[in-house]
Amino acid sequence: MRLSGLASGLDVDAMVKELMKAKRATYDKVVKQKTQLEWKREDYRTISSKIVDFRNNKLANYNLSNAINAKTSNVSGAANSIRINATNSTASGSLEVKVEQLATNTREVFDIGTGNLAVGEVQINGESITLDGDMNGAQLAKIINGNSKYKATALYNEQTGQISITAKESGAIDSAMLVSGIANRNAAASDPGKTAVVHINGMRYEQNSNRFVINGVDFTAVDESDNSATISVTKDTTKTVDTIKAFISEYNSLISLVNGELSEEKFRNYMPLTTDEKSALSEKEVELLESKARSGLLRRDTTLTKLISDLRSTATALVGGAQTGENSYLSVGITTGSYTEKGKLVLDEEKLRSALDSNPEEVTALFTGSNGVFRSMMDSSMSALKDLNKIAGTSLTSSDTAFTFMHNSTIGEQLKSMESRESQMLTRLNMMEIQYYKQFTAMEKAINKFNSQSSSLSSFM
């Protein structure tokens, strides 16, 4: 039981609080350091979320062929008979296409019964399967379906004892080439397959596949028709320009965010506030002081510096156009801004449109090629995301700024250690506070006893 200073006249609570203040200084320092580390991890997550969005939601979409295609196509007439994909290599103009016959897959059906197959050897597209006498139709079908080398799919009917084997590739295939070594072919149920036959601008084309590429026009026959479909291909750079403008805007936004963190001023004399410190200040004062304490936590951060360097290196290759040499980049009207803009890109739209009009394939390859700008930046971004994941436990795939941190990160382990230390220190402080109160309580009891004895002595006088 605590005595609150009635006998001594002392403010025991205030004295204990004052005594504990010095003892709590080290504890408060650890709490502030932990808070600052948590803030730093949150700042990393903000950057990581922006990178994920830039990589997965922006660059991945920009890299799609239809996002940067400088050609557009229109199909009239029997439009449902074909499916078209115009690319930058497609010649502008029109094609008249009539689908006479669709390619189909060769199918062979055999009545093999419901028991085990006789000992022997079966050939499927030239690949052997040994029948050991213990194999039934279901097992044979499983073997065919389980290995791509057979280039076929099989279906076994346990009720009728029939097995159907269908070539994966379309076109007319000799039945003996598809299947040999199985007796009792069911001719009525089998289908020899067909080639695709189309007429393009009056000329007959025949092949095993339904997909055709004529004059750069990539189309697939999907339905037979007595009527023709007319494909019109025209140059349209609007979508390409819009995609590149969007890319530059998103790139500059990311660069600006990261550069801001790298150069933000750090106020070393400001630390996070404790609960007691906050209670003594106004809301505006707390906001001001904590904004200074939170400022510059990622200043000159090595991981973010590497990200900026990698992205700018990729952009430099893009900006390095108008060089001489057969394999050099073209000048596409993109330059870096002034020194103060720290690597931001600036677009001359008129120059870009001119480059697209002259060399659409080269311009789009610059961005979407296997070593193009978009792919290179996706690789650089993933490298940075992996580094941030290792340091701060941020996500490789989520752009959600509220995403839960992974614990097995450098900062996660540091926070775990600090939390343990904080808990131990708090336990010791609580025990120390209890001890102080015990001492004051003992003093109060002694004073009460002395006062009681003094009163008794006074009664005899």
Is the pLDDT reported for residue 16 higher than 80? no
pLDDT more than 90, % of the chain: 55
Q: What is the mean pLDDT of residues 40-48?
A: 96
The answer regarding whether domain 105-180 maps to CATH 3.30.70.2120 reads yes
Where are the chain's structural domains? 12-64+240-392, 71-101+196-235, 105-180
Residue 342's closest CA among 309, 317, 314, 320? 309
pLDDT of residue 362: 83
Higher pLDDT, 202 or 7: 202
Kind and range of the H or E element at 24? helix 12-52
User: Phi, psi at residue 303, to the nearest 5°?
Assistant: -65, -45
Both tokens of residue 288? Answer: 């001001």
pLDDT of residue 217: 85
| 315-342 tens-digit pLDDT | 876 665 434 333 334 478 888 877 677 8
pLDDT of residue 6: 53
| 261-277 tens-digit pLDDT | 999 999 999 999 998 88
pLDDT more than 70, % of the chain: 90
| 116-163 tens-digit pLDDT | 999 999 999 999 999 999 999 999 999 999 999 999 999 999 999 999
pLDDT tier at 361, thresholds 50, 70, 90: confident
pLDDT tier at 8, thresholds 50, 70, 90: low
Contacts of 62 (CB under 8 A, 6+ apart): 68, 243, 246, 247, 367, 368, 374
Both tokens of residue 6? Answer: 């009635």
Whole-number mean pLDDT of the chain? Answer: 87
- Cα distance between residue 133 and residue 360, in whole Å: 62
pLDDT of residue 314: 82
What's the burial of 350, exposed, middle or buried (CB within 10 Å: 0-12/13-18/19+)? exposed
- Cα distance between residue 346 and residue 248, in whole Å: 8
The answer for 329, left when phi > 0, alpha when psi is -120 to 50, beta otherwise, is beta
pLDDT of residue 324: 37
Is the pLDDT reported for residue 460 higher than 70? no
pLDDT of residue 323: 42
- Cα distance between residue 344 and residue 336, in whole Å: 6
| 401-425 tens-digit pLDDT | 888 998 899 999 999 999 999 889 8
pLDDT of residue 104: 94
pLDDT of residue 328: 36
